[in-house]
Structure 1
Amino acid sequence: MRDNLFNNNADIADFRFDADVVKVFDDMVRRSVPGYDSMIQMVGLVARMYGQDNTNYYDLGSSTGAISLALALNNKNKNNTFIAIDNSAEMVKKCQANLSNKIDNLQVLCSDITDTKINDASIVVLNLTLQFIDVGARAALLKKIYDGLNPGGVLIISEKIHFEDPETQDHITKLHLDFKRENGYSELEIANKRQAIENVMITETKKNHIDRLRDCGFMETSCYFQCLNFVSFLSVK
């Protein structure tokens, strides 16, 4: 379904992953996030390289299940469980409907990922998820993931970032807005979406992310994908 949620002049509430958003989410994210399909593809390829037998693969903030599906389709290992977790009941229903007949050994859970225990994992993915977690709670979440990963396991994080240099930030922001316009969003929709999400999604710099990952124990982190202000990090335990 095409996203036209913000094409009106009504009062704008803070963004929530409710039933209305779930209906249009796949269209929304592809028209809003530059390189989204490549981002998903790369997660699958990374999982193919780092997955281990007899381990769990976690998709934290699973939304409609695109990451979980990419993990399963690229899995070359044996005896793996795919665990998709989201705190939106509507998202969980959609994810379950999308994947129940496509992935064996699938668990779809409605839970707060900050309360979720990570066990015996070789792959953990936070795809456009960490940016919705309170900044003060992010380090504890990443440390918990680190502790739950097996040696050689990986954490994949994809995020919207901002830039320390104001001129660079201005240029990239303009390109991102042009990307949205090219994908059919009106000026009203762009402005309304920005108003809805500005207090909900808190971005950080690339350095903020890499420093935090190091402090949580990851000695090896690389930014392996970037398209404008969206990046993916690979951290190996």
Structure 2
Amino acid sequence: MLVSPAMSKDQIYNESMAKIADFSFDAQVADVFTDMIERSVPGYRSIITMIETLTQHYAQPGSTLYDLGCSLGAATLSMARGLKAENCRIIAVDNSAAMVERCRTAVGRKHTCASVRVVEGDILTTEISNASVVVLNFTLQFIPPKERAPLLQRICDGMRPGGVLILSEKVVFEDDHLNGLLFDIHHDFKRAHGYSDLEISQKRSALENVLVPETIPSHRDRLLSAGFTSVDVWFQCFNFMSMLAVK
């Protein structure tokens, strides 16, 4: 179950635009984000559901859990549902004021979320300490590539032994045929969920300079270099995947 009780339909790119601005997580996107991501990211709901199970398995008593780039709080609330360890807290961080406002409302509706704090801030400067579970759910892809390794290093340094990072990303493939095939299949997925070719094309243009995907081996190598000892993909659907990195 996701966070929005009344899901607004994403129609941001349904009319032809003379100039397409870079994609941003503004109030317009926040209003339709749940519909947008469910219709754009294959397997998104499954990943959110399993974050609850992974939290139950990895959360350690007396530790802190982080949702970095929390958007509307779907992963945050999944973590809260799965949190069985005692004396823990969850910190959800996002740099979009519109997302944070709606996330705080969603968290406030849940009587069991007293241990959750939603913070408007930059995840690149957020202090990570005493962590047992950290979630980067389709967040790293929006971080400038040169900033990704330092961020993952800080996360690993601030994590308890046995803690886990859940990293979900859109990816590309080194094999040109496979990359092209999954690119086309992803667009078929979006068409099947009601997006027109115009919407798909215009959103792709808006994201071109904002969302920079990488290969699975690139993610794995960076995580291992940061100090994680066990790293692998636990979920993949087309060109979207989620990895577990255990310290």
TM-score range, shorter chain: over 0.9
The match for 2:25 is 17
The match for 1:223 is 233
- Tell me the SS of whatever aligns to 2:124: helix
Q: 2:49 aligns with which of 41, 44, 49?
A: 41
The match for 1:94 is 102
The match for 2:214 is 204
Contact kept in structure 2, 1:162 and 1:169, CA below 8 Å: yes
Deviations 1:35-65 (A, max 9, x none): 1100111211111111111111100000000
1:1-237 aligned at under 5 Å gives the runs 1-10=8-17, 11-102=19-110, 103-237=113-247
Deviation for aligned residue 1:101: 3.0
The amino acid that maps onto 2:215 is: T
Deviations 1:107-131 (A, max 9, x none): 1111110011101110000000000
Query: Aligned partners of 2:218, 2:63: CA distance in 1, in Å?
Result: 30
- Tell me the SS of whatever aligns to 1:115: coil
Query: Aligned partners of 2:131, 2:142: CA distance in 1, in Å?
Result: 23
The amino acid that maps onto 2:144 is: D
Deviations 1:143-188 (A, max 9, x none): 0000110111111100000000000001101110000000000000
Query: Aligned partners of 2:109, 2:193: CA distance in 1, in Å?
Result: 31
How does the TM-score come out when normalised to structure 1? Answer: 0.99
Query: Aligned partners of 1:222, 1:197: CA distance in 2, in Å?
Result: 27
Gaps of 5+ in 1: none
The match for 2:4 is none
Contact kept in structure 2, 1:122 and 1:149, CA below 8 Å: yes
Q: Which moved more, 1:207-216 or 1:101-110?
A: 101-110
Deviation for aligned residue 1:205: 0.1
Query: Aligned partners of 2:167, 2:213: CA distance in 1, in Å?
Result: 13
The amino acid that maps onto 2:115 is: N
Q: CA RMSD in A?
A: 0.6
Query: Aligned partners of 1:215, 1:139: CA distance in 2, in Å?
Result: 9
Deviation for aligned residue 1:93: 0.1
Number of residue pairs the alignment of both structures matches:
237
Query: Aligned partners of 2:61, 2:155: CA distance in 1, in Å?
Result: 18
Moved over 3 A (4+): none
Gaps of 5+ in 2: 1-7
Deviation for aligned residue 1:106: 1.3
Contact kept in structure 2, 1:100 and 1:106, CA below 8 Å: no
% identity of equivalent residues: 49
Deviations 1:60-83 (A, max 9, x none): 000000000000111111111110
